[in-house]
Structure 1
């Protein structure tokens, strides 16, 4: 080695030592900030590379014992800017919804709509419909009580005041498997694990299909708290085991449906000056739930059933005629509550709908097979990816961060990309249907209303993947998958936020 080359290497080595020394001096302060806040100030490393800045954050002791996979790409050309365990397969949690949304947009299209129909083979004679009335669901998760009321009003406009026949629910658009294969039984009573049916309904415009809203409030006179259910129905049984206690005492209310039936048990103590408790509880067998509510809706509208009418389930005859129908909002609008609020039911419904439309089978097996085909066409390596559901609730889904970031890169050229982009939560934006699950994160940072990303969280897993613009105007894609952590989810999320804020504040 000549003298000039030797001196040059010494200079480089001295520079590296200086940087490492700075990192070591800075690290204790950085660790404190990560534990205490959602943002990390990297000003002391202003001239460091992005890799050096992120390395400091990733040395946080809260990540020890777990696995963190990160991939950061240049959004303009797909070049890799940073990777740490990027090729390790990890659980994506609700980042799985990125794959589901992209597959649905590519397969069904942004203007795709779900349909619900009311049909009959019967004849109207005078004011009486002689024949069974069928309610055929085709997967619409946005069906509301107001839609059933509109159906009832329309039937009355058609001159129907009495029905001599049964009320029949038809959910055969999908198979009869209600829960995805890896859903924990302990999740099943709650809205996050609601059953999937082709005929279902939601209690409000968050569109948590197959659920009811249970509210518990103080009673002015009674010994038990007041309980209301939305929508009001006779399908759910409330078992009120609450107790009213004095002003100022601690509120302790639990709301949980019993496994395998529709009894919702409410327990605990409610102070006289206590605040409202609200919970979304899933129903057991949502098809029967819709039929039960629709029968009551018809009767409330003055349409009565005569004879030995009963509720039952059966496929609609091909000869039946449509009396009234309702279309859902287009997929591009449905993606907003799906992605912003991380709606699990929408993810599973979209999987079955893709299976039905492409493979003529509304099942998880067929839908996931369709997704695999789409993802291969988009350039993903399915040899390193395992799909088990559409929501990310499964602890068996696997994908490396590099594949997830690559997907976010390639879909930028799709004509539906704007719809996808619009559906992502916006960091620090206070409006619920804009900020979504990121509305209370990165609220005062370089990433505020800059980063758009999908969150994800199941036990021991926290994820965040999306897009952000750097301080010098470069568009960057990131995927952060943190698995097998113990301790505070809030602390782990603060590390994710620090990573994104650091990227946002960086100048290349």
Structure 2
């Protein structure tokens, strides 16, 4: 008997059996495979498109760094300055402060508080006056005082040439000053030679180089004269019109021209002579003495802060430039001379006197810093004036400055100081601790400002000295 077939069906084998056994898992795997294939197709399609659009027709592996987009110029690194002087600039001693610090070599502004805004620089103006005088008058020029034979018998004319240093004593505050005794001796000898037997009975005092009624600015406090700092600005005077000719600060008189005439008469032995004022008519020179060269006068002015010298030199600059020597002419004369000396922006400043005593002088701190930086380069009239500035802690009117907390900068600062009842100022160049030359100008301004502002300015400059090229504007 043969065996018969089973009545139960057989399960399918191979892949079909696997699907039958795990239908859900198979569905997931298939979906994943399809996703991968579709993604790969998209990538290759993209490469194909990119390849078709590429001029070089390169594959991804063939792209080099040189073929990627590069900047035309690689930016240089910029150092961040971190040294601050704000604690020195914001002290209560300063009612208000304007100022600037620049790199003297490059002109870069490192620190500024309204540095481009015009304000009163006080006696820093004398540095500008000094440079203007050296430029316009010339460093070797000497200022003459003469005696001219009069137009009538018995008359001589004492002619002022704008020299306030004409002295009555060899012990004059002005070193190596011309002596009125020498002038008188020459004049008497020569007069007797050409006018034998005719006594001198009258001396005409000629101070007409500029108008004698223009001798005092209404903005100058009268105490500057009575306190011994400033004389009336006349072309004829002796000893800077000091009561004591041997010292810097001594009360000044009310009529410098008459005082000069009386000093001459005494030196000439003419006690009974009478005086009048007017301009010389004759041309016969009986005697002449000359001042020290302008370079020496400028140095004396800058070292000691001599207002009378500053005003006389400023008026002489005006005359040299064919102006009238008036106070009002200085607004044109000083900037014009500074322009000739090489300062392009000089025409933008406002100058009303030669000493800086008037608050109507308006000079931005940035201009002062530029002037000082130009001076530090050592060229021309500006360089010559800069070389005469006092050195902090060492010379001139800065000899007793930069002490205490500011002592580190002693000997490293060449500057001109200024002060009035409304202001203390300081402008110059500091050789910083890191070797950088920094030009600066600071004006501390406020009614009744205290003398303590001087030390506060020194401390500020000492802070700049310590910071050097790392000085921050914050």
Q: Same fold (TM over 0.5)?
A: yes
1:402 shift after superposition: 0.9
Is 1:183 the counterpart of 2:220? The answer is: yes
Q: Which of 203, 209, 222 lines up with 1:173 in the alignment?
A: 209
Q: Which residue of 1 aligns with 2:462?
A: 501
Write the mapping of 1:216-365 to structure 2, written as runs, cut at 5 A.
280-299=250-269, 309-317=273-281, 319-365=282-328
Partner in structure 2 of residue 425 of structure 1: 390
Equivalent residue of 2:418, what SS?
Answer: strand
CA distance in 2, matches of 1:486, 1:183: 15
| Deviation digits for residues 68-109 of structure 1 (CA, Å, limit 9, x no counterpart) | 112111111222222122123222111111221222222222
Deviations 1:288-309 (A, max 9, x none): 110011111111xxx676xxx4
Partner of 1:462: 424
Give the number of aligned pairs: 372
- Post-superposition offset of 1:376: 4.6
Q: Distance between the aligned counterparts of 2:274 and 2:447, measured in 1?
A: 52
Change (3 A) 1:191 1:295: same
Q: Distance in 2 between matches of 1:178 and 1:487?
A: 28
Pairwise CA distance, 1:122: 6.8
Pair 1:187–1:117, CA change in 2 (3 A): same
- Structure-1-length-normalised TM-score: 0.68
Counterpart for residue 18 of structure 1: none
* Secondary structure at 2:226 match in 1: coil
Label 1:480 to 1:469 Cα distance change in 2 as closer, same or farther (>3 A). Answer: same
Q: Which of 404, 409, 429 matches 2:368?
A: 404
CA distance in 1, matches of 2:346, 2:381: 22
Question: What residue in structure 1 maps to residue 433 of structure 2?
Answer: 471
> Which of 134, 142, 153 is the aligned partner of 2:185?
153
Give distance in 2, aligned partners of 1:506 and 1:347: 34
**What residue in structure 2 maps to residue 30 of structure 1?**
none
User: Could you say which residue in structure 2 is the equivalent of 1:196?
Assistant: 233
CA deviation map 1:182-202 (0-9, x unaligned): 222343433323101111110
Runs of at least 5 residues in structure 2 that lack an aligned partner in the other structure: 1-78, 170-178, 470-474
Q: TM-score, normalised by structure 2?
A: 0.72
Cα distance in 2 for partners of 1:293, 1:338 equals 24
Distance 1:312 1:159, change over 3 A: closer
Show the counterpart of 1:453: 415
Aligned match for 2:166, one of 129, 136, 143: 143
| Residues 1:211 and 1:505: Cα distance change in structure 2 (over 3 Å) | same
Is the 1:353–1:367 contact (alpha carbons within 8 Å) kept by the matching residues of 2?
Answer: no
Instruction: Tell me if 1:59 matches 2:90.
Output: yes
RMSD of Structure 2 on Structure 1 (CA): 2.6
Aligned position for 1:395: 359
| Structure 1 stretches lacking a partner, 5+ long | 1-46, 124-129, 203-208, 214-229, 232-276, 430-434
Q: State the alpha-carbon separation in 2 of the partners of residues 407 and 297 from structure 1.
A: 44
